[in-house]
Amino acid sequence: MDILRIATAGSVDDGKSTLIGRLLYETNSITKDKIEALEMASKRKGLTFLDLSLLTDGLIAEREQGITIDVANIYFSTPRRKYIIADTPGHFEYTRNMVTGASNTKVSMILIDARNGVLEQTFRHFFIASMLRIPKVIVCINKMDLVGYSAEKFNAIKADIQAIADKVSFEGQEVTFIPMSSLYGQNISIRATEMPWYGGLTLLDELESTAFEEIKKPARFPVQFVLRPKTEEFHDYRGYAGKIASGSFSVGEKITVLPTGQTSTIATIEKFGMQLQTAEAKESVVITLETDVDVSRGNMLVKTNNQPNQLREITARVCWMDSQPIVAGKTYILQHGINESKAKIIALNSKIDVVTQHTIVDAVSALKLNEIGDITLKTAKPIFADKYAQNSANGAFILIDDQTNSTVGVGFVL
């Protein structure tokens, strides 16, 4: 069974929590006791219908304010696949959470209130989906019940959004539009009787039929842990444990160890003693080599005929996530996958206004919380990264402030 990870983004009050609640409700993912609790809570609020948004609004602070303020993970499954929704807040202050929630996802669901159409937020959501290179965007034009299920309204919003998509989408990104009412369950999993003019799929059918063409990526294996049991049975055993970041590895292939450049051949690929011939991206395995080479945590095994650059100077787009702004000249810890190095910010090149798409180049003195810009940094150790646009699984890093230990930014190698 496979997993489809989805990020949701929307503005305050466009019905995102209701939409997610509706998806759970219609896929029978809510147990009877939870529905009863929901009925009670809805009644307490004086509502005559089931307030499905209460299912996902978790934290005490949020319940008081009535808005979602952090990334929540929500799960449901169908006989076809398992879904993980990263529900990210739409409020403008929370770009950081939106980027966090959307990292790792394959589908971005962007909610639009049909009464309001495109908002400033819509630009932001599209920009982030493109920056993260999320391959599929589903634009959910919600609250169609409040605009009389009007095809004209839907088409007008669709045209506006298509214009944004044309500006920021990357080649191969798929953008789909669905008119819906999450409050009344129209086009969520059941086709809307009120919108016969819509010929596309329901949201659930769209998700169920989502498939991605596997584009062959270069093989990258970051070594997490060196296994040396030193027991009698495994006296000279030396295995390299890790999760394949991208591509695939097979027994018998020639590999190079980065950064040393030593070469060897893959002897075995193992999973709990099970011998594999080939292992693919995202699999956690143990690789043993035919010859004794020097390998330690943070090193990377790659195929000898396809190696990444060993970067000491990196230009990257970063999203800043800390209340303390980025400081040019300051040294941070850069963590690329599991490899760490000190990294000094040598230049702040530009700042991007994600709403107007304008790039500010002159006199960029700081990147503040929730701001996005391009920087150049110098690392103390080589980093074995690919360009994010070419191999996203090996092209991102985080920055850590070693005084606070906080994760303060995320970078995408340009």
Partner 1 sequence: MNSDIPKHGFFPRELEDEAIYILREVAAQFEKPALMFSGGKDSITLVRLAQKAFYPGKIPFPLIHVDTGHNFPETVAFRDWLIKETGAELIVRYVQDSINQGKVKEETGKYASRNVLQTVTLLDAIEEFKFDACIGGARRDEEKARAKERIFSLRDDFGQWDSKRQRPELFDMLNGRIAIGENMRVFPISNWTELDVWNYIKEEGIAIPSIYYSHQRQVIERDGMLWADSDYLNKDADEIPFEATVRFRTVGDMTCTAAVASEAVQLDDIIGEILAAEISERGARIDDKRSEAAMERRKQQGYF
Residues in contact with partner 1 by the rule CB under 8 A: 1-3, 31-34, 56-61, 63, 70-75, 77, 82, 84, 96-97, 99-100, 103-104, 224-225, 227-229, 231, 233-234, 237, 239, 241-243, 271-274, 282-284, 286, 297, 321, 333, 335, 337-338, 393, 396-398, 400, 402, 405-407, 410
Shortest Å distance, C-beta 245 to partner 1: 9
- Residue closer to partner 1 by CB (options 130, 187) is 130
Shortest Å distance, C-beta 306 to partner 1: 21
- Residue closer to partner 1 by CB (options 63, 115) is 63
Q: Give the CA radius of gyration of the chain.
A: 24
Contact (CB, 8 A) for 158 and 48? no
- Residue closer to partner 1 by CB (options 40, 361) is 40
Phi, psi of 289 (to 5 degrees): -115, 160
Shortest Å distance, C-beta 227 to partner 1: 5
Contact (CB, 8 A) for 198 and 187? yes
**Burial of residue 90, with CB atoms counted within 10 A of its CB: 0-12 exposed, 13-18 middle, 19 or more buried:** buried
Shortest Å distance, C-beta 199 to partner 1: 33
Distance CA 397, CA 1 (A): 29
Q: Specify the DSSP class assigned to residue 181.
A: B
- Residue closer to partner 1 by CB (options 37, 327) is 37
Strand bridging mode 248-250 / 278-280: antiparallel
Shortest Å distance, C-beta 328 to partner 1: 22
Does the CA dihedral 309-388-409-327 come out positive or negative? positive
Q: Which of 17, 331, 78 lies closest to 204 in space, CA to CA?
A: 78
Shortest Å distance, C-beta 58 to partner 1: 4
Shortest Å distance, C-beta 403 to partner 1: 10
- Residue closer to partner 1 by CB (options 81, 115) is 81
- Residue closer to partner 1 by CB (options 104, 331) is 104
Shortest Å distance, C-beta 27 to partner 1: 12
DSSP string, 358-385: PEE-TT---B-TT-EEEEEEEEEEEE--
Shortest Å distance, C-beta 11 to partner 1: 20
Q: Which of 202, 271, 210, 201 lies closest to 2 in space, CA to CA?
A: 210
- Residue closer to partner 1 by CB (options 197, 234) is 234
Contact (CB, 8 A) for 59 and 222? no
Distance CA 392, CA 105 (A): 12
Does the CA dihedral 184-188-190-194 come out positive or negative? positive
- Residue closer to partner 1 by CB (options 63, 254) is 63
Contact (CB, 8 A) for 146 and 23? no
Amino acid identity, position 337: G
Distance CA 345, CA 347 (A): 6
- Residue closer to partner 1 by CB (options 192, 375) is 375
